[in-house]
C-alpha cells in the first residue's frame, strides 16, 4: 500500500490532473490519496482570526476542510473513489480502485492526534500510513526540492516548513519509507507505483533516531 499526500497548493496546477489520472490508472487498490486542506483550510484560518475560536475547534474545521478538498479531487477524476473508514478502504482496495481518504470520520475522535495548527495533513498522512501498514508514504509538494540531498533530515524539512513539526513523532520508527516529491515529477508514476522509479526523483526523509 502507498499513501500519497496531495497538498492543497497543487490546486489549479497543470500537474494535478495528470497526477490524479495516473493514480486512477495504476492505483490498483494499492494507492490512497490524502488530501491537503488548501483553500478550505485557509478559510478556517481566516475564520479563526475573526472569531478567536480555540485551536481545537479550528483543528476540527481544518479536518473537515480536508474532506472538502478530497471531494473536490474526486470530482476532478471520476475514476477515483472516496473512503471514510478502514473498511471502505479495504473494500475499494479489493475492487482495485484509486482511493481518496476523507479523514474526519477516523480522526476527529482520536485522542492521540494533537489538535493544533502544528499538525497538518502531512502528519495525518503518516497516521494513516501507520493504520494501513503502508510500504511507502509520499508527500507531493509544490516547492522545488532541487537543493535537497537524496536523503534529507526531517529536521531540515521542518525548519524549511516543508513538513510539520508533529510529523517525526508520528512517522518515526515505522516500517514504511517517507518521501517528498515535487509536483513536476509526477511522471515517476507513468508506468505504475514502483520504488525504484520513485528514488530517482523523490527525496527520502531521514527520520530522527
- Would you state the pLDDT for residue 184? 97
- Would you state the pLDDT for residue 111? 82
Residue 162 per-residue DSSP state: S
In angstroms, the CA 190 to CA 187 distance is: 5
**2 pairs with which residues across the strands?**
31, 136
In angstroms, the CA 157 to CA 27 distance is: 28
Contact in structure between 195 and 136 (CB atoms under 8 Å): yes
Q: What percent of the chain has pLDDT over 90?
A: 91
Domain ranges of the chain: 2-206
For residue 138, CA distances in Å to 85, 130, 131, 201 come to 20, 13, 15, 12
In angstroms, the CA 70 to CA 6 distance is: 10
Query: Of 132, 123, 20, which is closest to residue 72 (Cα–Cα)?
Result: 20
Match 510500504 to its residue by C-alpha cell.
135
Q: What CATH number is given for 2-206 in this structure?
A: 3.40.1160.10
pLDDT digit string, tens, across residues 64-87 = 999 999 999 999 999 999 999 999
- Would you state the pLDDT for residue 112? 85
Q: In the chain, which stretches have pLDDT less than 50? A: none
Amino acid at each position: 500500500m502507498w499513501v500519497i499526500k496531495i497538498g492543497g497548493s497543487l490546486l489549479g496546477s497543470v500537474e494535478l490532473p495528470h497526477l490524479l489520472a495516473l493514480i486512477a490508472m495504476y492505483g490498483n487498490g494499492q494507492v490512497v490519496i490524502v488530501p491537503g486542506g488548501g483553500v478550505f483550510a485557509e478559510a478556517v484560518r481566516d475564520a479563526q482570526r475573526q472569531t478567536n475560536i480555540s485551536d481545537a475547534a479550528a483543528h476540527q474545521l481544518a479536518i473537515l476542510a480536508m474532506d472538502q478538498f478530497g471531494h473536490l479531487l474526486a470530482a476532478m477524476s471520476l475514476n477515483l473513489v472516496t473512503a471514510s473508514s478502514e473498511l471502505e478502504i479495504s473494500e475499494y482496495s479489493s475492487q482495485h480502485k484509486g482511493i481518496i481518504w476523507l479523514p474526519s470520520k477516523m480522526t476527529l475522535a482520536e485522542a492521540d492526534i494533537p489538535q493544533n495548527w502544528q499538525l497538518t495533513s502531512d502528519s495525518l498522512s503518516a497516521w494513516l500510513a501507520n493504520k494501513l501498514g503502508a510500504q511507502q508514504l509520499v508527500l507531493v509538494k509544490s516547492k522545488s526540492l532541487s537543493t535537497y540531498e537524496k536523503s534529507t533530515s526531517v529536521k531540515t524539512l521542518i525548519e524549511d516548513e516543508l513538513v510539520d513539526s508533529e510529523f517525526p513523532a508520528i512517522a518515526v520508527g515505522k516500517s514504511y519509507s517517507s518521501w517528498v516529491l515535487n509536483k513536476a515529477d509526477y511522471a515517476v508514476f507513468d508506468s505504475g507505483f514502483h520504488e525504484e522509479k520513485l528514488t530517482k526523483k523523490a527525496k527520502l526523509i531521514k527520520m530522527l533516531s
